[in-house]
Chain A
Amino acid sequence: MENLKTLAILIPILPLLGMLLVGAVGLRFLKDKSHWLVITGVGGSLVLACLILGDVVSRVSRDEAASHVANAESAVGSAALSKSIPIYDWFVVEADPAHGAMQSAGWLQMTFRVDQLTCVMLMTVLAVSFMVVLYSKGYMRDHHGHAERGYERFFAFLGLFVFSMCMLVLAGNFLVLYLGWELVGLSSYLLIGHYYQKPEAALAARKAFIVNRIGDFGFALGIWLIYLTFRTLDHQTVFDLVAGVFNYDAGHNHQAFESLVHTTLGAQASVMDFKVLVESRITWIALLLFCGAMGKSAQFPLHVWLPDAMEGPTPVSALIHAATMVTAGVYLVARCSVIFASSEIAMWFVAAIGAATAFFAATIAMTQFDMKRILAYSTLSQLGYMFMGLGVGAFDSSVFHLYTHAFFKACLFLGAGSVMHAMGGVIDIRRFSGLRKQMPVTHLTFLIASLALAGFPLLSAFWSKDEIIHAAFQSNVPMFGWIGLVTALLTAFYTFRMVAMAFWGPLRLPQGVEHAHEGGIWMNGPLVFLSIGAVLAGYVGVHFVSGGGFLGVFQPDGVFHEFLAPVIASAKGILAGHGAEHAGAAHAGGHGLMYASSGIAILGILSASYLYLKRPTIPWAIAAASGSLYRLVYNKYYVDEIYDAVFVQPLRRMGRLCFAIDRNFINAILYVLGNIPRAIGFGVRSGQQGAMQGYALGMVIGLVALIWIVLNGIG
């Protein structure tokens, strides 16, 4: 426990220290060498995250020897994993006898929680962050190696982001989670607006912030409702209570549940009342929490900020808007799997939003020409997959997809950044092509990551995406599975449309760029590492069988799922109670689906390559023929325009009205109020009296009044 606690504290502290040092000494003394501070901080955290993973794994395996892992309660070492680690009481409020005992124990505690899910997230976040920080060292410079303006600031904010993300992931209660949630929002805002002199960047930053606020408002309400219902914000306590309520009728372990209710809500609380209360509120809680997830993970209809966020520097897009921050919503739902699993409506809603986003974002991606925007829509689409997986109960598969996605998507973004760097800031794939020869490393890594994204067999996303689609087919609404398959085809298509247009074909460079060249070791190193990750990362999620599996040897559901199983065990239990057919046990089947999706991926890849390399006129012809439909998709279904008309303009008008009221009415009141003290101070100074006498008179009147109050009171 102590070991975990020390590690858990150090992990966010190191990047924060890096950031503070950049601010304290970097700006003044280190200048364009400031990256070392942040690289050291993030690298240190990565090492610590490995240690924490080792610790957790050793605990789990030690217990496994004793008992079965699913029964984590009885196990000694891993029991610590399901408990919050109190760091300190942020806020001490004296006990209020009207409420439960939990309050007096400090309901506003800083607590961390280290379990299997945390480890997975930490490893993903920190590995990608480390790569991106290294990459930024090369990227944020011009071709002569001179640092860009704001170089130190950029690294400081990266440090802040990694700190915030670690806080979010390590949070042991909803308060800390919310803190991290807002902090990543802040650092995302700061980093999108890095080139704040560019009006688009400033606008994009603002848009991201505002859209996130909308989601966060729901999230905050959700947390508030959780507090109102459970009188605690501690993750595990809330989850245990929910699980207790929804397993109550199944009828085991009533005593433990009741005693938990009493310690949390006070001895006089009625268990049955509580059960009814929770049952009536759980859907609202889940939906409100999901509202926050929709904002942060850019799900329809709150997805509009993410494509615009590509105005930020490319490393930021790779790190925050592809690999880590946007997956916070997925993490939230996975973390609160018990809450979501308890509400069928919420589950359906999550899956539906995910499926819709996956499909629509993929269609938009097919029509875009800005490489980073294509990747942004692809990210939306992949996040949609993850939510679909969560919604159909395949929590582990979604987290698995989150993990594999981080590698190949970060690799794609960094590759795009490498191209952009070489093309002098041009990123429109109509303006260059055939970079294959001049940028071999970028091309190779980009190709590998693209294959992974397209779901090419045996690469990382193949395993994870297939699991999700499989789970969707197994669920109550097989429709989601079909959407998943169609989207997979679109994904393969738009990915290779991009690859074909940018890297293949004849060499063509934008004006003013004579020669495309690689970004050097700092940029290529991370690309290579991440592409290796894109190939191999999936293999923790499969195990090998001799015969019967996919291609005879592969069987989904590997150590990764086994590792995560205790975290989502109770959610699975509740889902099983609902009587729904869900994934999990059914991972075994569905090899047919795997062959089918391999076929679809290869079909998409080949057709895109063919169309855009051999017959580039056909896509244009199709686009022209479909006319308004094409324009609809190309303009992203006009969502931005609709928002502008429905929300932004009316709000702006209302804002103007409020401003007028404020100007003319409230200001007048405040002005009057503001003048009262002057009247008190100087009103008495009329006629011949000087300032001094006014003051003295005020004092005497005050003194007499005080005495009068006391005497009057005593009577």
Chain B
Amino acid sequence: MLATIGLQHYLILSALIFSLGVLCMATKRNAIGILIGVELVLNSANINLVGFSKYQTGKGDGQIFAVFVILLAAAEAALAIAIFMNFYNNVRTIDVDRGDELRG
């Protein structure tokens, strides 16, 4: 028998993606890589929101939330990449390891 897709499936998927995102953030040395990790986490949150919205509240506010999060992610990425480029202009790399002038 074919199992119906329920809330659990959404949540498990979301948790998986969240873990992947955190892993990505923690291991990547490239700034873009870290940013990708951030996007993964944001998307896992989106899956949560959509899933909860569909199965539990039924009001759609979660879906609206998800739309806002997508928008935020876009804005954040735009700004982050601009800043990475600025870093690249100064340091000729976007390896975050190289950003170690500020310490102590």
Interface residues of A (CB under 8 A from B): 678, 682, 688-693, 696-697, 700
Which residues from chain A contact B96 at a C-beta distance below 8 Å? Answer: 690-693
- Interface 1/0s, chain B 71-104, versus A by CB < 8 A? 0000000000000000000000001111110011
Q: A interface, by DSSP: helix, strand, loop or mixed?
A: helix
Contact of A696 with B26 in the complex, beta carbons under 8 Å:
yes
Contact of A691 with B97 in the complex, beta carbons under 8 Å:
yes
Query: Known contacts A690-B97, A692-B29, A692-B99; can you find 13 more A-B pairs with CB under 8 A?
Result: A688-B97, A689-B97, A690-B95, A690-B99, A690-B100, A691-B97, A691-B99, A692-B96, A693-B26, A693-B29, A693-B96, A696-B25, A700-B22
> A696–B98 Cα gap in the complex (Å)?
16
Q: A678-B104, A692-B34 are in contact. Are A697 and B99 (CB under 8 A)?
A: no
> A696–B25 Cα gap in the complex (Å)?
8
> A688–B29 Cα gap in the complex (Å)?
10
Which residues from chain A contact B27 at a C-beta distance below 8 Å? Answer: 693
Would you list the 10 A-B pairs with minimal beta carbon distance, nearest first? A690-B97, A692-B96, A690-B96, A691-B100, A690-B29, A696-B26, A696-B25, A691-B99, A693-B26, A678-B104
> A697–B98 Cα gap in the complex (Å)?
17
> A612–B86 Cα gap in the complex (Å)?
91
> A690–B26 Cα gap in the complex (Å)?
10
Can you offer 9 A-B residue contacts whose CB atoms are under 8 A?
A678-B104, A689-B97, A690-B99, A691-B97, A692-B29, A692-B96, A692-B97, A697-B26, A700-B26
Q: Give the Cβ gap from A87 to chain B, nearest Cβ, in Å.
A: 48
Interface residues of B (CB under 8 A from A): 22, 25-27, 29, 34, 95-100, 103-104
> A697–B96 Cα gap in the complex (Å)?
14
Q: Give the Cβ gap from B29 to chain A, nearest Cβ, in Å.
A: 5
Q: Give the Cβ gap from B58 to chain A, nearest Cβ, in Å.
A: 30
Q: Give the Cβ gap from A512 to chain B, nearest Cβ, in Å.
A: 61
> A585–B82 Cα gap in the complex (Å)?
94
Contact of B103 with A682 in the complex, beta carbons under 8 Å:
yes
Contact of A691 with B26 in the complex, beta carbons under 8 Å:
no
Which residues from chain B contact A696 at a C-beta distance below 8 Å? Answer: 25-26
Q: Give the Cβ gap from A501 to chain B, nearest Cβ, in Å.
A: 69
Which residues from chain A contact B99 at a C-beta distance below 8 Å? Answer: 690-692
Q: Give the Cβ gap from B90 to chain A, nearest Cβ, in Å.
A: 16
Q: Give the Cβ gap from A690 to chain B, nearest Cβ, in Å.
A: 3
Question: Looking across the interface, which residue of chain A has its beta carbon closest to that of B26?
Answer: A696
Which residues from chain A contact B34 at a C-beta distance below 8 Å? Answer: 692
Question: Looking across the interface, which residue of chain B has its beta carbon closest to that of A689?
Answer: B97
> A691–B103 Cα gap in the complex (Å)?
9
> A162–B25 Cα gap in the complex (Å)?
66
> A77–B104 Cα gap in the complex (Å)?
68
> A691–B98 Cα gap in the complex (Å)?
8
Which residues from chain B contact A692 at a C-beta distance below 8 Å? Answer: 29, 34, 96-97, 99
> A362–B23 Cα gap in the complex (Å)?
88
Q: Give the Cβ gap from B27 to chain A, nearest Cβ, in Å.
A: 8
Which residues from chain A contact B98 at a C-beta distance below 8 Å? Answer: 690
Most buried by B among A682, A692, A693, A697: A692
